[in-house]
Amino acid sequence: MLDRQHWDWDTEEKKIPLSDWKTSYNWVEEPQTSLDGEKIASIVNIDEGEFTVCINGESWGPVYDKIWYLRFSPDGRATALVSEMGEWTVAVDGVPWENRYGYVWNTRFSSDGKQIAVAVQQDMKYGIATNDVLWKTTYANMTDPVLNPDGNRSAATVQVMNLGAAEIEKFKSGIFSVAIDGVSWEKRFVNVWKPVFDPAGIHLAAQVRTTLYDYTIAVNGNVWDKSFATVWEPVFHPTEGSVVAPVRTGGKWTLAKDGEIIWEGRYLQTWHQKYSADGRKLAAIVSPKYGRWTMAVDDRPWTSTLGDMVADWAFSSNGQTIAAVFKQGADWSLAVDGQKWQHRFDMVFAPVISDDGQRVAAKVEKDGNFTLVVDDKIWNRACQAVWDPIFSPDGQKLLTRSVENDTYYRRVIPVSEITGKSTPFG
């Protein structure tokens, strides 16, 4: 969870002009901001084959052949993947790691931002490096790199056996597994997808295909007793250690826990399930009939169904509120606890809910402009760029990050500034 208590919630506005950046550099790439809003950064080009990062108007000292995937860690450090003389590494606040690799990608952070990990290719072998320490064992292939919440363990799907052309029987016998800190499970599978750690960062589960036709979940290398026609990504219970995954059985989808069906409902699709933080509620996106979508909470679907799709959704931290982004035709909007908002947009991004579950906010796009919406009320600012809003711990204020007229603004506004009136924008 974000450490918002120590952020500046008193200064109403801070701003950083960005127009000079465009004249100081050949080009400026899409900006990124720190979660607390205190920093804005962009990859910038100085000359042919010369790149650096500009943060709050100040450039990193080092210059690199190429830079990509600029991201701020949760603790506010700027990280980027950088190339020198054709070799890649990670730079943190401008300081590169000592080791160089053939390629790096998929930056991952621990929840506090102290641990930084990347997928690595070196000499055509693949692994994960955390704070510049690479797995001792690397593999012929690797996908789905993940870091546990504390960042002290990393894992990925790995290919543990070489596969030659037309070695069909070898493939069918299983050549994939999961490696944790470079050490693979003994069990081999036809396929493995989406490894996920439990909240404590100790146990790991993944989707697996045990034969060409059988799918199930493996937990710490041990498969469920039952197989299914298909499965989706598993999740752990927040405290119990049990694992829940969507499974297809009898031509329909439902949820299974540790291999046993727990929902009576059968749906055309069930996926993206989540527990509330206390583990008392379990919800998922479901399709009760063709072309219609909704949320089911503890196997009870909302009475209203939504259009073409349900995308991002979230529980409030107290588990009392659910907000879901949905698409109907060309329009996007939000539904909160089954109630659809009236306003429609060209795009709606992931919902953000106050800790008490009383307020729902999101970044939205309309007619090429970006703004924020809170409780179906629209902020009266049309922006070049907006980042996800963040509620203060008491839910009374909103931290906003936006670019307007080539100026970056960090504002702390009362939620009532938006909810008090609804003003169209664009």
Count of the separate structural domains present in the chain: 2
Residue 171 located in a structural domain: no
Domain annotation covers residue 288: no
Q: Are 383 and 401 in contact (CB under 8 A)?
A: no
Of 77, 100, 123, the one marking the end of a domain is: 100
Asked if residue 43 belongs to a domain, the reply is yes
Judge whether 347 lies within some domain: yes
Whether residue 298 is contained in a domain is answered as no
Average pLDDT over residues 266-285: 98
pLDDT of residue 222: 97
Q: Which of 370, 369, 373 is nearest to 417 (CA)?
A: 373
For the cut 50, the answer to whether the pLDDT of residue 426 exceeds it is: no
Residue 401 resides in a domain? yes
Residue 421 has pLDDT above 80, yes or no: no
Residue 1: what pLDDT?
Answer: 56
Residue 176, number of CB atoms within 10 A of its CB: 25
Residue after which a domain boundary falls, among 73, 100, 127: 100
**What pLDDT, on a 0 to 100 scale, did the predictor assign at position 386?**
98
| pLDDT of res. 168 | 84
Q: pLDDT tens, 144-171?
A: 999 999 999 999 999 998 878 878 888 8
Q: Rounded mean pLDDT of 124-145? A: 97
Q: What does pTM read for this prediction?
A: 0.93
CATH number of the domain to which 401 belongs: 2.120.10.30
d(CA 201, CA 163): 32
On whether residue 81 sits in a domain, the answer given is yes
Tokens (6 digits) for 298: 């503890």
pLDDT tens digits for range 32-43: 999 999 999 999
HSE-up of residue 359 (Cα within 13 Å, Cβ side): 24
Which of 66, 100, 134 is the last residue before a domain boundary?
A: 100
C-alpha span between 148 and 178 (Å, rounded): 14
Instruction: Give domain status of residue 163, yes or no.
Output: no
Domain of residue 314, residue span: 306-426
